């Protein structure tokens, strides 16, 4: 790290982090994200997200053998309203992160202000089923898309 700091000309302005658990990516989407991040001002990072099938407001915890809404201000009945009654929710998907290098020097990753880059739902490999599906998709589905 000291060697990098001594020669500031070698420090990149941004770091593009491609998580190995999301291997099926489009270079066009990556280029679009990079161009977008270069254009926006006052953001410390950009993170890929996709729209969740159901809003986060419809999620629950089980506590003391009782179903509890994830949002304490909602009742069980409120949380069971149709999904259209709630705003859209998004989840990070590991497709890509772009961070400013200065975040790392400030002992942060995403910083204080993160830009959401919405992509289509992606294959994120978290278990054997996901791995098997990713292999199938890479072999069969991605050939069809091209």
The pTM assigned to this predicted structure is 0.80
Give the percent of the chain with pLDDT over 70: 90
Instruction: Specify the DSSP element, H or E, that contains 144.
Output: helix 142-145
pLDDT (mean) for 10-22:
90
Does 79 map to a domain? no
Distance of CA 142 to the CA centre of its chain: 21
CATH number, domain containing residue 108: 3.90.550.10
Does 65 map to a domain? no
Range of the domain at 138: 12-52+88-145
Contact 53, 111 (CB under 8 A): no
Give the pLDDT confidence score for residue 143 in this predicted structure: 56
Q: Is residue 48 helix, strand or coil? A: strand
Instruction: Outline where the chain has alpha helix (H).
Output: 2-6, 27-39, 76-79, 101-105, 128-136, 142-145
Does 47 map to a domain? yes
pLDDT (mean) for 80-90:
93
Does 136 map to a domain? yes
Pairing of strands 45-51, 114-118: parallel
Q: How many domains, in total, are found in the chain?
A: 1
Model confidence at 10, pLDDT cuts 50, 70, 90, reads confident
Does 141 map to a domain? yes
Does 74 map to a domain? no
Of 1-10, 18-27, 63-72, 114-123, give the lowest mean pLDDT range.
1-10
Closest CA to 123 of 17, 21, 51: 21
Give the pLDDT confidence score for residue 24 in this predicted structure: 87
């Amino acid at each position: 790290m000291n060697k990098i700091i001594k020669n500031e000309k070698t420090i990149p302005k941004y770091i593009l982090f491609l998580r190995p658990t999301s291997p099926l990516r489009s270079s066009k989407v990556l280029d679009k994200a990079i161009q977008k991040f270069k254009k926006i001002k006052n953001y410390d990072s950009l993170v890929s997200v996709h729209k969740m099938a159901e809003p986060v407001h419809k999620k629950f915890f089980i506590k003391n053998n009782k179903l509890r809404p994830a949002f304490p201000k909602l009742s069980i009945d409120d949380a069971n309203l149709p999904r259209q009654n709630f705003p859209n929710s998004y989840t990070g998907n590991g497709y890509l992160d772009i961070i400013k290098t200065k975040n790392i020097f400030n002992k942060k990753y995403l910083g204080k202000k993160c830009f959401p880059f919405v992509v289509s739902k992606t294959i994120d490999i978290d278990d054997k089923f996901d791995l098997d599906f990713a292999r199938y998709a890479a072999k069969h589905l991605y050939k069809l898309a091209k």
